Amino acid sequence: MKITVIRIDDRLIHGQIITKWIAEARAEQILVVDDRSAADPMLKMILGLAVPSGIHLEVLSLTEARMLIDRDPSSLRTLMIVRNPQAMLELIQAGFDAEEYEIILGNMSFDEKKTGIRHVLDYLYVNNQDVETLKALASSCAKITIKAVPEERGKDLKILEHK
């Protein structure tokens, strides 16, 4: 597989993915890396219903995704979506080499269970732990850019420090 876009987005597959990010990635396939969705047949089915015909969908746990990435020799252009920064960091710690990739940070919804959460952008709520995880990610990839849609001017992680 040829990963063309990596996106962190807690909504996984939604309208912006369908109307914007598939085209941006020139994706023939979407790889959702999410332990919760991979373990729930109903969530898998719902995600599958959202994907346009002609686009292959894989919904895999972190471990399964890591093995697929290692073993898939195809050149299938792939949009990879991960639910949150922690899962992306775990994927890298499991051996995924992200050094050549830009990671696009998209939606991180308000979560009342998180302590110290703050509103950064309309679509981005983080706490100190999220910021530390994102900094660790930044040292493991080519770049992290914050944006909701491809045509939006990307924002740097530094905006998280000022909110």
Sign of CA dihedral 97, 99, 105, 111: positive
Q: Number of C-alpha atoms within 13 angstroms, CB side, residue 116? A: 6
162 band by pLDDT with thresholds 50, 70 and 90: low
User: What is the chain written as a DSSP string?
Assistant: -EEEEEEE-TT-SSHHIIIIIHHHHT-SEEEEE-HHHHT-HHHHHHHHHHSPTT-EEEEE-HHHHHHHHHH-----EEEEEESSHHHHHHHHHTT---TT-EEEE--B---TTSTT-EEEETTEEE-HHHHHHHHHHHTTSSEEEE-SSTTSPPB-GGGGGG-
In contact, 155 and 146? CB cutoff 8 Å: yes
pLDDT of residue 102: 97
pLDDT digits (tens, 9 = 90+) for 47-97: 999 999 999 999 999 999 999 999 999 999 999 999 999 999 999 999 999
pLDDT of residue 163: 58
First to last CA, the chain: 38
Give this prediction's pTM: 0.95
pLDDT digits (tens, 9 = 90+) for 15-33: 999 999 999 999 999 999 9
> Is pLDDT of 150 > 90?
yes
